Amino acid sequence: DTQPYMAMEFLPGGNLQQRINGQPLSLTQVFNVTRGMASALSCAHAAGIVHRDIKPANILFRRDGSVVLGDFGIAKAMAGSAAVTALTKATSIGTPNYMSPEQAQGKKIDARSDQYGLGTVLYECLTGRTPYQGGDSFAIAFQHIYEPIPELPPVRACFQPLLNKLMAKDPADRFASTEDILPVLYELYQQCKQDGDSLA
């Protein structure tokens, strides 16, 4: 048979949105999801690709629980090379609850916009809710652009430094490279365990 077809990996573990379901995840789950996402994004960015729609519904699980980043339908190749460089054409595409300030404003974006999206997902994993709530997309976008980064509850406050870095309003204040997230994440995870996270 010469008929072309597309084959995709079967992922029976559902998605992160289903797992959160309005409730905070355990400390180990938060660590595993964030580590898996940071690793996946590092690979994408090294290949010169910005995802642009990081959200729980696009984070899938294999049978063994490992994380897979899906739905690259609105991903864009970064200009110039695999380096972290800005997209040549600005666009305000994405999902409002997880959209970076520069993305919400239709400005040029780069890999650091995906870091912001990861920060919003981290917040939701830690608290069970999105960082900002509003009656419509415009209200939510306004908060992403102008409102302070939300504070985590005391039991999860050890992750606040990472959240502040990922969700910095100015992309220049985020990580220079997505792979730099991993050692910081591991250090804070160990700190939370030592502090006795009650949701561990």
Active site (catalytic) residues: 53
- Cβ atoms 48, 81 nearer than 8 A: yes
Helix 181-195, helix 27-46: angle, nearest 10 = 180
160/106 Cα distance (integer angstroms): 27
Residue 170: DSSP 8-state: S
b/e 1-29 (16+ beta carbons within 10 angstroms → b): eeeeeeeeeeeebebbeebbeeebbebeb
Q: How far apart are CA 168 and CA 142, in angstroms?
A: 15
Tokens 């600005």 — which residue? Answer: 90
- Separation in Å, CA 134 to CA 53, 61, 87, 140, 199: 19, 29, 29, 5, 28
